[in-house]
Amino acid sequence: MKIKLLPIIMLGISIVACSDESTNYETASAPTYEAPSSKAYSEEKNNYCADADDKNSCSCQFDVMDPILTAAIGSDWSTKSMEEKDFSTYVQAVEKAVEQCS
């Protein structure tokens, strides 16, 4: 399977994870964390998150998925097409990323 399903899977999981309507953003305090600039990111992470709306969330997800996918697929996982045999590994990595970065 030469189609890159990871972005589609991530989008679907992100939509579900972000659809919590109980959060009241108007009364939430301003965040005190300042994210590092994209210049501090690796070239792979910059390329992976280039089209992301939320660079911080994408960066977090990349950091969680990278060791899992690098060990199972190889260090070029973010640039090569996903193979059908690797689908379950991608799903596992995306689930962990959404769990930790939500």
Give the range of the structural domain holding residue 67, as residue numbers without chain letter.
1-14+43-102
pTM of structure: 0.57
| 70: in domain | yes
Residues 6+ apart with CB under 8 A from 6: 82, 90, 94
In b/e form, how buried is each residue of 69-87, taking b as 16+ CB within 10 angstroms? Answer: beeebeeebbeeebeeebe
pLDDT score at 88: 92
| 23: in domain | no
**Total tally of structural domains belonging to the chain:** 1
DSSP state of 95: H
| 38: in domain | no
pLDDT tops 80 at residue 31: no
DSSP state of 20: -
CA distances from 63 to 9, 37, 70 (A): 17, 15, 11
| 37: in domain | no
Tokens of 13: 């999981």
| 68: in domain | yes
- How many other CB atoms are found less than 10 A from the CB of residue 30? 4
pLDDT score at 71: 92
| 31: in domain | no
| 80: in domain | yes
| 2: in domain | yes
pLDDT score at 2: 46
pLDDT score at 39: 52
pLDDT tops 70 at residue 14: no
